Amino acid sequence: MSVKILITGGCGFIGSHVVRQFVMKYPDYQILNADALTYAGNPENLRDIEHYPNYVFRQTNIVDEKAVEELFQSFRPDAVIHLAAESHVDRSILSPLDFVYTNVIGTVNLLNAAKRIWIDEKNNSASRLLFYHISTDEVYGALGETGYFTEDTKYDPHSPYSASKAASDHFVRAYHDTYGLPVVISNCSNNYGPNQFPEKLIPLFIHNIIHKKPLPVYGDGLYTRDWLYVKDHAEAIDLIFHRGKTGETYNIGGHNEWKNIDLVKLLCRLMDQKLGRPKGESEKLITFVKDRPGHDRRYAIDASKIQRELGWKPSVTFEEGLSLTIDWYLENTEWLQHVTSGEYMKYYQKQYEQ
**Between residue 153 and residue 172, which ones bind ligand NAD under the rule CB under 6 A?**
165
CA-CA distance, 20 to 23, in Å (whole number)? 5
Per rule CB under 6 A, count of chain residues that contact ligand NAD: 30
The verdict on 9 binding ligand NAD (CB under 6 A) reads yes
Q: Which does 223 bind (CB under 5 to 8 A by kind): ligand DAU, ligand NAD, none?
A: ligand DAU
Beta carbon of residue 56, minimum distance to ligand NAD (angstroms, whole number): 15
- The residue sitting closest to ligand NAD, measured at its beta carbon, is 12
Would you say 54 or 282 has its CB closer to ligand DAU?
282
The one among 5, 19, 32, 35 contacting ligand NAD by CB under 6 A:
35
CA-CA distance, 192 to 190, in Å (whole number)? 7
Q: Contact 2/31 with Cβ under 8 angstroms?
A: no
Q: Which of 35, 44, 78, 138 is catalytic?
A: 138
The verdict on 336 binding ligand NAD (CB under 6 A) reads no
Q: Which does 324 bind (CB under 5 to 8 A by kind): ligand NAD, ligand DAU, none?
A: none
Q: Contact 300/257 with Cβ under 8 angstroms?
A: yes
To the query of whether residue 161 is one of the catalytic residues in this protein, the response is yes
How far CA 328 is from CA of 195, 266, 311, 331, in Å, comes to 9, 17, 28, 5
The verdict on 87 binding ligand NAD (CB under 6 A) reads yes
Beta carbon of residue 39, minimum distance to ligand DAU (angstroms, whole number): 14
DSSP one-letter code for 149:
B
Nearest residue to 171 (alpha-carbon basis) of 221, 133, 126: 133
To the query of whether residue 69 is one of the catalytic residues in this protein, the response is no
Beta carbon of residue 206, minimum distance to ligand NAD (angstroms, whole number): 15
Q: Which of 55, 132, 161, 175 is catalytic?
A: 161
CA-CA distance, 350 to 47, in Å (whole number)? 12
CA-CA distance, 212 to 282, in Å (whole number)? 7
CA-CA distance, 294 to 157, in Å (whole number)? 10
Q: Which does 299 bind (CB under 5 to 8 A by kind): ligand NAD, ligand DAU, none?
A: ligand DAU
What residues line the site for ligand DAU (CB under 6 A)? Answer: 87-89, 136-138, 189-190, 200-201, 204, 216-218, 223, 225, 260, 292, 299
The one among 13, 118, 335, 344 contacting ligand NAD by CB under 6 A:
13
To the query of whether residue 138 is one of the catalytic residues in this protein, the response is yes
CA-CA distance, 108 to 89, in Å (whole number)? 21
58 class by beta-carbon count within 10 Å (0-12 exposed, 13-18 middle, 19+ buried): middle
CA-CA distance, 351 to 22, in Å (whole number)? 22
Name the residues annotated as catalytic.
137-138, 161
